[in-house]
Structures are given as structure tokens and as C-alpha cells.
């Protein structure tokens, strides 16, 4: 991190199931570490917390929950870590995150819940400086060993999820960048495309951490 008032960059990976988020997040982590950046990798849902254990059981279809209740738990799972994300950014670490609030909206809206209702609980979370959307067709994703056994891992569901992601991307502000990468290409080409987006952020970002979907205020969620 260079001198000045710079903070760490907040980078989010989004995409359909099997689009390569975890593979690319691991590669990016390694590359950032080689570039001598302090970096923290997170993944949502974080299945290790109390809330995350409930989410895990739901995703494995070991328990049932009302659609709205599980949506709020996914959001609460992010809020559990919101302060620590902001602290890491302020301390100069790059924060890399595998899925975030956009997955929350995409999956719940694809189930039929109203889009605005789905977005509401995540308003004011720390906003990414860039969201990298790994775009792939559900047909191509399925060829990658087929979908697994978890809830939502069905082609028709993934098709609707992709449509909601496209809406989110089209509505994202210029400041909170949404960049689409072709995730159907060779794995190394995807890695290079991602690096071109991330490299300029490695030396840090000027300005405070912004808030998701908040207008006119950059008030921190933690005291300075």
C-alpha cells in the first residue's frame, strides 16, 4: 500500500453456480499476495457462524424456512461481518469477497420475492469498489461436472437468477462499478481479464468506504 490517505479496495466476485468464482478468487488471492498486498478473502454465505450454520442446513435441504426468513438470514450473515470488512479496508487491506448482497437479491427475487423488498436489508452495507460478474450461460455452467445437490442448483432457477443479476448490473452506479467478465472462456483467460480489472486497485483506493444503495450519505457504520 502506498502512502497517503488510501484505504484497501473492496472487490466482490459474483456469478452463477459453477461460473468459477471460488477458483478465480483463490487465484486472485495468490496473485495479490505475490504482489505484496495485504489481502483478506471472505465468502458468503459464511457457513461458520451461528446464522451460517442455519443457512447451510437450509441449502442442504436438511431444514425448511420461509423464503423471507432465509433471505433475512443471508443478509444478517453479511451484517455480522460488515464492521470487520470496513476495519480491514481502513487498515489498508484489500478485501476480496466470493458472493455478496447481489447474490442475496438474485436468488430471492428469482424465487418470486419483490426485487425492492429483497434489496432493502442490504442497504448501507459496505459497498464494493468493483463487482466482477463472472458471466456464463446456465447450459455451459452445467457442463462443468453438472450441478450439485444443493437447493437452487437447477438450470431453470439459474436462468432466472442470471436475469436478476443482469438487472442489478444495469442499475449499479458508476461509482460502485459492475464489470462483466466472460466466464465461459479458458480458465487462464478469465484470470487475466480479472487481473486487468484488479491491478489498478492494488495500491489502494482514495476516499471513504461507500454504502450500498444509499443516497447522499457516506456515514461510516463504525466510529472513526
Binding pattern for the stretch 75-114 against ligand Z5A, x by CB under 6 A and - elsewhere: ------------------------x---xx--x-------
Identify the residue among 190, 194, 202, 205 touching ligand Z5A (CB under 6 A): 190
Stretch that binds ligand Z5A, among 11-19, 81-89, 112-120, 165-173 (CB under 6 A): 11-19
Q: Shortest gap between Cβ of 175 and ligand Z5A (angstroms)?
A: 22
Which partner from the list ligand Z5A, Mg ion, none does 74 bind, CB cut-off 5 to 8 Å by kind?
Answer: ligand Z5A
CB 172 within 8 A of CB 132: no
59 binds ligand Z5A (CB under 6 A): yes
Which partner from the list ligand Z5A, Mg ion, none does 144 bind, CB cut-off 5 to 8 Å by kind?
Answer: ligand Z5A
Q: What is the DSSP string of 9-75?
A: -EEEEEESTTSSHHHHHHHHHHHHHHTT--EEEEESS-TTSHHHHHHHHHHTTSS---HHHHHHHHH
Residue 187 CB-half CA count within 13 A: 12
Identify the residue among 7, 10, 11, 21 touching ligand Z5A (CB under 6 A): 21
What sign has the CA pseudo-torsion 203, 208, 210, 216? negative
Q: C-alpha distances in angstroms, 12 versus 114, 178, 202?
A: 24, 9, 14
Stretch that binds ligand Z5A, among 16-24, 33-41, 174-182, 214-222 (CB under 6 A): 16-24
Nearest Cα residue to 98 out of 14, 31, 161? 14
Binding pattern for the stretch 119-148 against ligand Z5A, x by CB under 6 A and - elsewhere: -------------------------xx---
Strand segments (E) across 94-218: 94-98, 130-135, 177-182
164 binds ligand Z5A (CB under 6 A): no
The SS3 call for residue 116 is helix
CB 87 within 8 A of CB 222: yes
137 binds Mg ion (CB under 5 A): no
Identify the residue among 8, 20, 126, 138 touching ligand Z5A (CB under 6 A): 20
Main-chain dihedrals φ then ψ at residue 41, nearest 5 degrees:
-105, 125
List contacts with ligand Z5A (CB under 6 A). Answer: 15, 17-23, 44-45, 59, 74, 99, 103-104, 107, 144-145, 152-153, 187, 190
Amino acid at each position: 500500500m502506498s502512502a497517503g490517505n488510501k484505504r484497501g479496495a473492496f472487490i466482490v466476485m459474483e456469478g452463477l453456480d459453477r461460473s468459477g468464482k471460488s477458483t478465480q478468487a483463490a487465484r486472485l488471492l495468490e496473485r495479490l499476495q505475490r504482489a505484496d498486498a495485504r489481502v483478506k478473502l471472505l465468502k458468503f454465505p459464511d457457513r461458520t457462524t451461528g446464522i451460517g450454520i442455519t443457512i447451510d442446513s437450509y441449502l442442504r435441504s436438511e431444514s425448511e424456512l420461509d423464503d423471507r426468513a432465509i433471505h433475512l438470514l443471508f443478509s444478517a450473515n453479511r451484517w455480522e461481518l460488515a464492521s470487520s470488512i470496513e476495519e480491514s479496508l481502513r487498515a489498508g487491506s484489500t478485501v476480496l469477497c466470493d458472493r455478496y448482497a447481489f447474490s442475496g437479491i438474485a436468488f430471492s427475487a428469482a424465487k418470486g420475492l419483490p426485487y425492492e423488498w429483497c434489496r432493502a436489508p442490504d442497504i448501507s452495507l459496505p459497498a464494493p469498489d468493483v463487482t466482477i460478474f463472472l458471466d456464463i450461460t446456465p447450459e455451459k455452467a452445467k457442463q462443468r461436472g453438472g450441478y450439485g445437490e444443493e437447493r437452487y442448483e437447477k438450470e431453470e432457477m439459474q436462468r432466472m437468477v442470471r436475469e436478476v443479476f443482469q438487472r442489478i448490473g444495469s442499475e449499479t452506479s458508476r461509482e460502485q462499478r459492475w464489470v462483466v467478465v466472460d466466464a465461459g472462456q479458458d480458465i487462464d483467460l478469465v484470470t487475466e481479464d480479472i487481473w486487468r480489472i484488479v491491478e489498478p486497485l492494488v495500491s489502494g483506493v482514495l476516499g471513504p468506504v461507500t454504502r450500498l444503495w444509499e443516497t447522499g450519505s457516506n456515514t461510516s457504520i463504525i466510529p472513526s
